[in-house]
Each structure stands twice: as structure tokens, then as C-alpha cells.
Amino acid sequence: MTAAESDPTRDDPATMDPDPMDPAANDAEDPGGSPLTSDPEWFRTAVFYEVLVRSFADANGDGTGDFKGLTDKLDYLAWLGVDCLWVPPFMASPLRDGGYDVADYTSVLPEVGTVDDFRAFVAAAHDRGIRVIIDFVMNHTSDQHPWFQASRSDPHGPYGDFYVWSDTDDLYQDARIIFVDTEPSNWTWDPVRQQYYWHRF
């Protein structure tokens, strides 16, 4: 029995989180009482600003931007007229691909802060009427992710087929190599599992 199955309040509407698809559940009010609009067409006229956290504003002086630094600059971004901040990946990562190689979806790169710092940033942005979208990488993971580590060490376990494995690197030869300057092949030999694994990034 899973934890969800053992929770007697799981299906009680009074204890359930709001439906994320319900526009009314997504209204967020700032201290002045001005809600973020629940209009599903809001993005058509919004001003988006992509912000690279690691290079935007450094609050602690260590030479790397962080969420506290970004939070400190929200008034400036609001003054610019920004309606929505687009934040590229900031999850824990070995950073072989600019953070797009996520090793842990539930934690934040230590150099940019903590999960609490991220939450505080989002709350402060909402207080100013600024939305936040994150570039959430669901297509692939880092080879340091626990799923990959489990897949390589236990081929017959629950994560064994989470990734594409092969005894040969001859498959899918027509697939373009995206990063030809750093990757000679879409296949890499894994000495632990003694097979090749497929990757595009």
C-alpha cells in the first residue's frame, strides 16, 4: 500500500489542494489587493523577461547570481513593465548542459539558493503582479539522476527501462546528433550496466 492509498483524507474535497486547472484557484493577490488575472489569454499581451538566475544578481557576493539577488531586483523588473519572468532550469544539476541536465527535480542548485529562497522569490513576484514560469525539463534527466543510477545498476528493477539501453550502438543511425561539437554519438557506453544508453543531449 502506498502512502497515498493509506491517507484517509486523500479524496476529501475539504483537504485536497485546489485544482491547478481551475482559473479561480490560481488568482494570487498582492498586498494592495490587485490579483494576477485569471484570464487564460493573459500571455498574449504580457511582457516576458527571461532571467538567468546564476548571472543576474548576486546577493551574497560569491560571484554567482541567486534567488535572493533576483528577489531584490523585482521592484526594478516591475518598473520595467515585466509581466512574467521566465526562469531557465535551476534544479540540482552537474551543469554539463547549462542546468538542462537535471539530477534532482526537488532541490535547487546550492549556489543559487534553497527551495525556500525560490518560494520566497515567487511569492514576492506575485506580490508585484509578476507571474513566474519555469523551464521544467521533463524530456530527459542527467546521468546523475537517481532514476538513471537505479536503471544502470538494476536492469530488471522498477527503473530498468526508464531509459533506452542497447547492446549495440548501431540503432537509430539516422537520428541527427544535436551537439556535434561535444558528442560524437547519440549512444554512450555504460561500464556499470555493460550496455549503451541513448541520449540526445
Which grid cell is 6? 493509506
Rounded Cα distance, 50 and 52, in Å: 7
| pLDDT by residue, tens only, the chain of 201 residues | 333 333 334 344 444 454 443 444 444 444 444 457 788 999 999 999 999 999 999 999 999 999 999 999 999 999 999 999 999 999 999 998 889 999 999 999 999 999 999 999 999 999 999 999 999 998 899 999 999 999 999 999 999 999 999 999 999 999 998 888 888 899 999 999 999 999 987
What is the pLDDT at residue 182? 83
Task: Please state whether 199 falls in left (phi above 0), alpha (psi between -120 and 50) or beta.
Answer: beta
**What are 178-200's pLDDT values in tens digits?**
888 888 899 999 999 999 999 98
> Which residue's entry shows cell 532550469?
89
Q: Are 38 and 24 a contacting pair, CB within 8 Å?
A: yes
Supply the pLDDT for residue 35: 53
Residue whose entry in the numeric block shows the C-alpha cell 547519440: 186
> What is the pLDDT, as a whole number, of residue 166?
96
CATH of 145-201, one of 3.90.400.10, 3.10.20.310, 3.40.50.10710, 3.30.2270.10: 3.90.400.10
Is CATH 3.40.50.620 what the domain over 29-134 is classified as, yes or no? no
Dihedral sign, Cα of residue 139, residue 142, residue 146, residue 149? positive
pLDDT of residue 91: 94
Domain locations in the chain? 29-134, 145-201
DSSP string for residues in 59-93: SSSSSS--HHHHHHTHHHHHHHT--EEEE---EE-
**For residue 166, what is the enclosing H or E element?**
strand 165-166
